[in-house]
Amino acid sequence: MALLSTAISLQGLNFVVNECHSYSFIDINSITIKAMKFFLKMRLRRVLSLSILVLSPWIVGVGLKGCHSTTDSALVIAQESLDLDGQEAAIADIRSTLEQLESEGLYGVVQLKDGESVLIHEGLGLRDRESSDPIETTTGFDIGSLTKAMTAATVLKLEEQGALRLSDPVRLFFPEAPSPLREATVQQLIEHRAGLPEYLGEDTELLTKEQALERLFAAELDFAPGSDEAYSNAGYSLLAAIVEATANQPFEQAMHEAIFLPAGIDSIGYRLAGWEKERLAVGYVEGERTGTPLDQPWLDDGPSWTLRGNGGLIATAEDTADWFDAMFAGRILGPAALAQFKAWFASSGPYGVRVGEAGGDDLTGFNAQYEAWPDVGISWTMFTSRSDYLAEDVWEAVEDPVEQLLEPVLSPEDSTTEEEEEES
């Protein structure tokens, strides 16, 4: 219906272009344009289709007295209608994929946003098989390595406050650190360039901070600090210890005050967020129940220091998306610190800043995926709790239709082909 009515309107408008030359449309036509844009904004596609169909003869009639400028505007509106159809088709495709995966056994929560508009926000599958409780949009999940971005942001906030510098070596905080680790800098730890091994131990192995530091300082480095790069969870545990030494506070408290309060969020955390087991997803690995994050071996103030700082934060999809929104909107860090954060956790593309972060725990079944184009406003946040259906795999299934939501953003003159880029 939308395509038919748009086609009829365009035929009438082409007639206007051929028949009129000099006279400008009167204000009442601009009112019509605003009304049609309102229908578009409200996503009332059927209403829009009917309105265009009904208004087509009127537009042509007034157009005989008018000129090119408003014809162009109406053509733009017609294009917006087609773009809207494309967006709705993409969303329908995403929903269809999610429904199919849920019917097969997907457990998780997803949020898809377009600026302030929430396009999809749903719980999928069961929070707990034993109780048959469904996953709600407010269900909490272990967000895995998305924690690392938040740890790095905490460090940047401390640097803004003058408490440390990215160039500070480990020995400044821990004089007992051995060489060559003692010369590794805070920035090298964040960038996985300090030479530390990937793990301190299993996430469920209970280590206090003191025990973790003892193991860190006894570890043989894989390479000299700054000479190479290799992913290291252990490096982020050391960063958490540096935050405590610098802020004179427990790591979680320092993080809460530095980066969560400025974003107006108080439900991301370990213990401080006040999560209860009944509000958390239960993890499953190969069909076996692993429990909620709070069922895992934890210390009184949070998870083991094998996990502290590099993973294990508990959050909802909504709060996680809101936190990243606040970060890229400049509500947490100043311009210089934000630019550094982007250098670590974002890239640039045809739609501006591009973010893609993921992480999970093979032992518990939790997995998290965050994908966003902050300059455009499109973001995808998904957490899952079954090892058979990982958020990272779901993203591969919906990536194309999600990216279709970006296509109307670039006007034809803004987009270039690969051949044109090579010529330039």
On whether both 388 and 250 belong to a single domain, the answer is yes
Provide the pLDDT for residue 84.
56
Residue 351 within a domain: yes
Full domain range(s) for residue 172:
105-409
Distance in angstroms (rounded) separating the CA atoms of residues 176 and 245: 14
The residue from 43, 65, 92 where one domain ends is 92
On whether both 360 and 251 belong to a single domain, the answer is yes
Cβ contact 336:323 at 8 Å: no
Pull the structure tokens for residue 227.
């000479």
On whether both 57 and 128 belong to a single domain, the answer is no
Residue 397 within a domain: yes
On whether both 57 and 182 belong to a single domain, the answer is no
Provide the pLDDT for residue 409.
58
On whether both 394 and 317 belong to a single domain, the answer is yes
Residue 423 within a domain: no
The 3-class secondary structure across the chain, one letter per residue, is CHHHHHHHHHHHHHHHHHHCCCCCCCHHHHHHHHHHHHHHHCCCHHHHHHHHHHHHHHHHHHHCCCCHHHHHHHHHHHHHHHHHHHHHHHHHHHHHHHHHHHHHCCCEEEEEEECCEEEEEEEECEEECCCCEECCCCCEEECCCHHHHHHHHHHHHHHHCCCCCCCCEHHHCCCCCCCCHHHCEHHHHHCCCCCCCCCCCCCCCCCCHHHHHHHHHHCCCCCCCCCCCCCCHHHHHHHHHHHHHHHCCCHHHHHHHHHHHHHCCCCCECCCCCCCHHHECCEEECCEEEECHHHCCEECCEECCCCCCCCCCEECHHHHHHHHHHHHCCCCCCHHHHHHHHHHHCEEECCEEEEEEEEECCCCCCEEEEEEECCCCEEEEEEECECCECHHHHHHHHHHHHHHCCHHHCCCCCCCCHHHHHHC
Residue 416 within a domain: no
Pull the structure tokens for residue 109.
């929560």
* Mean per-residue pLDDT pooled into runs of 10, the chain (424 residues): 38 38 36 38 36 38 39 41 72 98 98 96 98 98 98 98 98 98 98 97 95 97 98 98 98 98 97 97 97 97 97 98 98 98 96 96 95 97 98 97 83 42 40
Residue 420 within a domain: no
Cβ contact 236:309 at 8 Å: yes
Q: What angle do CA 11, 13, 15 make, to 5 degrees?
A: 75
- Give residue 142's identity as a one-letter amino acid code: D
Residue 99 within a domain: no
Q: What is the count of structural domains for the chain?
A: 2
On whether both 88 and 110 belong to a single domain, the answer is no
Nearest to residue 70, comparing CAs of 34, 102, 45, 98? 34
On whether both 245 and 372 belong to a single domain, the answer is yes
Q: Could you tell me the CA-to-CA distances from 96 to 44, 91, 119, 120, 407 in Å, in that order? A: 21, 9, 14, 12, 20
On whether both 305 and 403 belong to a single domain, the answer is yes
The residue from 35, 64, 92 where one domain ends is 92
Nearest to residue 359, comparing CAs of 198, 190, 126, 148? 148
**CATH number of the domain residue 185 falls in:** 3.40.710.10
In the block, which residue shows the tokens 């309105």?
A: 51
Distance in angstroms (rounded) separating the CA atoms of residues 399 and 79: 24
Provide the pLDDT for residue 85.
77
Nearest to residue 111, comparing CAs of 368, 318, 370, 314? 318
Task: Kindly tell me the burial class for residue 388, based on how many C-beta atoms sit within 10 Å of its own C-beta (0-12, 13-18, 19 or more).
Answer: middle
Distance in angstroms (rounded) separating the CA atoms of residues 68 and 80: 19
In the block, which residue shows the tokens 């739609």?
A: 351
pTM: 0.79
The residue from 92, 125, 145 where one domain ends is 92
